[in-house]
């Protein structure tokens, strides 16, 4: 299958290698890029906190650029949303990384259970995150009365490719499947000129979504071709192919 990957670099390259190993033809069209704010991360880490929570591997990659200021935090417990984020945090040097291997709701539930077993933290949990993001994780911890301090340290900026580049990737030939990892990227995809002007050309293309939230950005005319992964991770997404 010819499979279009819309996620940002460098993750897109790793996905392409996985697809090639499965016998597919990967095509890359990144529709977002991460803009890091390392100073915001340093400032957040300098304030007192009991643990660190991350819901994106992007944060873990950013922390790898904080430098020597990170060293005194490496014994701090990190609650990470998934295995990829957890591995990235471990690669950054953190000694204790706990992950439920699911989504933000699963991470919130794990933190709540941890606080129930070991007591409410005296200092807030530092949530290092980006923009845009779903509100569920923060809302769940707030409802449970767990102190949380949120610090935005990156943003995902949309990439609008040149018309000629988009047409070359999307029309020569049309992909058999598209992988969507975020709601914002899916929204950007359907605004591209080939989709906006000749959507009928894509009525045989599978729209594969990481989660039900991502699938909400897929227009109704493609509903019959939209499939949601059984779990919010790349392994489950690729299983749909």
**Tens digits of per-residue pLDDT, 116-126?**
999 999 999 99
Q: Where are the alpha helices (DSSP H) in 119-208?
A: 136-143, 163-171, 183-189, 193-197
Express each pLDDT in 137-163 by its tens digit. Answer: 999 999 999 999 999 999 999 999 999
Q: Span 38-67, mean pLDDT?
A: 91
Angle at the Cα of 53 (from 80 to 51), degrees rounded to 5? 115
Q: What does the mean pLDDT of the chain come to?
A: 93
Answer yes or no: do 121 and 207 share one domain: no
Among the three residues 156, 175, 203, which one is the final residue of a domain in this structure? Answer: 156
Return the biggest CA–CA distance within the chain. 58
In degrees and rounded to multiples of 5, residue 77 shows phi and psi of: -65, 135
Predicted local confidence at residue 77, as pLDDT: 96
Q: Which domain holds residue 134?
A: 34-156
Radius of gyration of the chain (CA): 19
Residue 125 in contact with residue 78, Cβ under 8 Å? no
Residue 239 scores a pLDDT above 90: yes
- Is the pLDDT assigned to residue 101 strictly greater than 80? no
Q: Looking at residue 103, what is its pLDDT?
A: 81
At 175, which CATH number?
A: 3.40.50.10090
Which pLDDT band holds residue 94 (cuts at 50, 70, 90)? very high
With pLDDT > 90 as the criterion, what percentage of the chain qualifies?
78
**Is the pLDDT confidence value at 180 over 90?**
yes
Are residues 150 and 101 part of one domain? Answer: yes
pLDDT grade for 56, boundaries at 50, 70 and 90: confident
Buried b (16+ CB within 10 A) or exposed e, 144-154: eebebbbbebb
Residues 111 and 202 in one domain: no
User: With DSSP H G I counted as helix, E B as strand and the rest as coil, what are the percentages for the chain, rounded to 5?
Assistant: 45, 20, 35
CB 156 within 8 A of CB 31: no
Q: Are residues 144 and 62 in the same domain?
A: yes
Does residue 133 share a domain with residue 73?
Answer: yes
Number of domains within the chain: 2
Nearby residues of 240 by Cβ (< 8 Å), 6 or more positions away: 177, 206, 208, 227, 229
Judge if 51 and 75 occupy the same domain.
Answer: yes
- Using alpha carbons, list the distances in angstroms from residue 70 to 8, 86, 89, 127, 148: 25, 17, 12, 15, 20
pLDDT of residue 216: 95
pLDDT band, residue 67 (cuts 50/70/90): confident
Quick one: what percent of the chain has pLDDT higher than 70?
Answer: 100
> Do both 151 and 187 map to the same domain?
no
Residues 175 and 186 in one domain: yes
- Confidence at residue 13, expressed as pLDDT on a 0 to 100 scale: 92
Residues 164, 152 within the same domain: no
Q: 36 - beta bridge partners?
A: 154
Of 107, 123, 156, the last residue of a domain is: 156
| pLDDT value of position 65 | 86
Are 59 and 143 contained in the same domain? yes
| End-of-domain residue from the set 129, 156, 183 | 156
For residue 128, pLDDT beyond 80 = yes
Kindly give, in sequence order, each residue whose CB lies less than 8 Å from that of residue 13, ignoring residues fewer than 6 positions away: 28
Place of tokens 């706990």: 98
Residue 113 and residue 65 share a domain? yes
Residue 229 φ then ψ, to 5°: -60, 150
Task: Return the pLDDT at 163.
Answer: 93
Across the chain, the runs of DSSP E, i.e. the strands, are 2-5, 25-28, 32-36, 51-54, 78-80, 97-98, 125-131, 148-158, 177-180, 206-209, 226-228
Given a cut of 90, whether residue 135 has pLDDT beyond it is no
- pLDDT tier for residue 168 given thresholds of 50, 70 and 90: very high
The whole-number average pLDDT for the span 87-92 is 89
pLDDT band at 202 (very low <50, low <70, confident <90, very high): very high
Q: How many CB atoms lie within 10 A of CB 116?
A: 10
Does residue 124 share a domain with residue 55? yes
């Amino acid at each position: 299958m010819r499979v279009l990957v819309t996620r940002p670099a460098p993750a897109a390259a790793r996905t392409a290698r996985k697809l090639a190993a499965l016998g597919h033809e990967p095509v890359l069209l990144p529709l977002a890029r991460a803009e890091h704010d390392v100073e915001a991360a340093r400032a957040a880490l300098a304030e007192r906190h009991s643990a660190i929570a991350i819901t994106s591997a992007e944060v873990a990659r950013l922390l790898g650029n904080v430098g020597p200021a990170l060293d005194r935090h490496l014994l701090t417990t990190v609650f990470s949303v998934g295995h990829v984020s957890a591995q990235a945090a471990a690669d950054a040097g953190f000694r204790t990384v706990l992950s439920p291997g699911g989504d933000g709701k699963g991470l919130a539930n794990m933190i709540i259970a941890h606080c129930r077993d070991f007591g409410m933290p005296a200092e807030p949990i530092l949530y290092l995150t980006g923009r845009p993001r779903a509100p569920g994780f923060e809302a769940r911890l707030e409802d449970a009365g767990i102190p949380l301090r949120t610090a935005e340290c990156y943003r995902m900026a949309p990439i609008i490719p040149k018309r000629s580049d988009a047409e070359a990737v999307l029309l020569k030939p049309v992909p058999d499947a598209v992988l969507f990892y975020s709601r914002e990227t899916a929204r950007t995809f359907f605004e591209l000129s080939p989709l906006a002007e000749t959507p009928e050309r894509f009525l045989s293309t599978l729209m594969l979504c990481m989660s039900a939230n991502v699938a909400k950005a897929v227009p109704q005319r493609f509903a019959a071709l939209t499939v949601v992964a059984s779990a919010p991770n790349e392994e489950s997404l690729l299983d749909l192919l």
